[in-house]
Structure 1
Amino acid sequence: MATFMDVHHGMKGITQEQLAAAHRADQAIEREEGVRFQKAWADPKSGTVYCLSEAPSADAVKRIHERAGHPVTEVHQVTYTV
């Protein structure tokens, strides 16, 4: 499994409750693609949302987000962490 950070744009004004609901929607179907969403962060002022996950591929992350109703703009594999 690889680690991925994905980025959503255009979510200006997102509330903490909306972020939590979107995260739960991902988690409800993540097993179907072998993905495990770990954490999500949001900046409601800019409309940027970040999600950290473990997955077999970037495409698997994209498919889950799209099916959950919030397509992702970018997916980056994270090679190093400290």
Structure 2
Amino acid sequence: MTQFMDVHHGMAGITAEQLMHAHQADLAIEKQEGVHFEKAWADPASGTVYCLSQAPSAEAVQRIHERAGHKADEIHPVPLSV
């Protein structure tokens, strides 16, 4: 499976509790698309949220995010890491 980093904009002021709730919503249904969300980060000041996942495709990642109620604005494959 490929790793993906997705980006959500427009979440200014997001709290740690809200980030955890959104991440849990993804985890609750991720198996429906064969996705595994590994971690999420947020910058409340800019309203940017980042999610790292392993998935069969970017489309599978987006489908889970859409069902969980927070469509990603960008999804990038991450083919190399150290």
Specify the alignment match of 1:43 in structure 2.
Answer: 43
Shift of 1:58: 0.1
Shift of 1:44: 0.3
SS at match of 1:41: strand
Shift of 1:72: 0.4
Specify the alignment match of 1:18 in structure 2.
Answer: 18
SS at match of 1:3: strand
Identity %: 71
TM-score of the two chains, using structure 2 as the length reference: 0.99
Residue 74 of structure 1 aligns with an amino acid whose one-letter code is E
Specify the alignment match of 2:72 in structure 1.
Answer: 72
Specify the alignment match of 2:58 in structure 1.
Answer: 58
Count of residues in correspondence between the two structures: 82
Structure 2: stretches of 5+ with no match in the other structure: none
1:31 maps to 2:34: no
SS at match of 1:54: strand
C-alpha RMSD of the superposition:
0.3
For the residues of structure 2 that align with 1:11 and 1:67, how far apart are their CA atoms?
18
Shift of 1:24: 0.2
For the residues of structure 2 that align with 1:66 and 1:34, how far apart are their CA atoms?
15
Structure 1: stretches of 5+ with no match in the other structure: none
